[in-house]
Chains A and B, each alone.
Chain A
């Protein structure tokens, strides 16, 4: 599949908002996803957005999609220490069979 790029690390204080950014290259992607991986666990789907949308809100999570710039972001409001994890951006450009993941962004939330 085409490249999905993310920054590797982000550190925020508890209670602040976190914004994790992602860029992708394949404009044929119809869905874009955010997965969360806690230590010692597999990946868990957090949310996804269809490519004809530019925003989706789900409780503390807001996904913004700029299709022109191929840029996706995940905003976590009121970040808690339990949000510390690795966040993966993914698209469905990988030959149609499975997801194409970025390297993941490690989010550290400090008290």
Chain B
């Protein structure tokens, strides 16, 4: 299957700082990228959907000013957690899909964010 790289795999930061997470599709051009948040022993919660070159569409209850998403190219999307707080600590997962790939979502390995 297609390869999606997510970086970093783990990050620890101080409260109040911002953290950027990158999601790259390595072997295909992703028309759409998705960002999820996963709490311990729970399912994935979709945070936002981003299409290359346009603004992300956020799910209800997700603060767009808190979680900044940029999808600048067909192979890269970034999620920036601004002014992070301990309650933002979670596992963040991205996925990428493309029309030519039958819109199957391919997932990154996830980023474990710990805010101290």
Asked if chains A and B come from one complex, the reply is: no
Residue numbers of B with Cβ under 8 A of A are none
Residue numbers of A with Cβ under 8 A of B are none
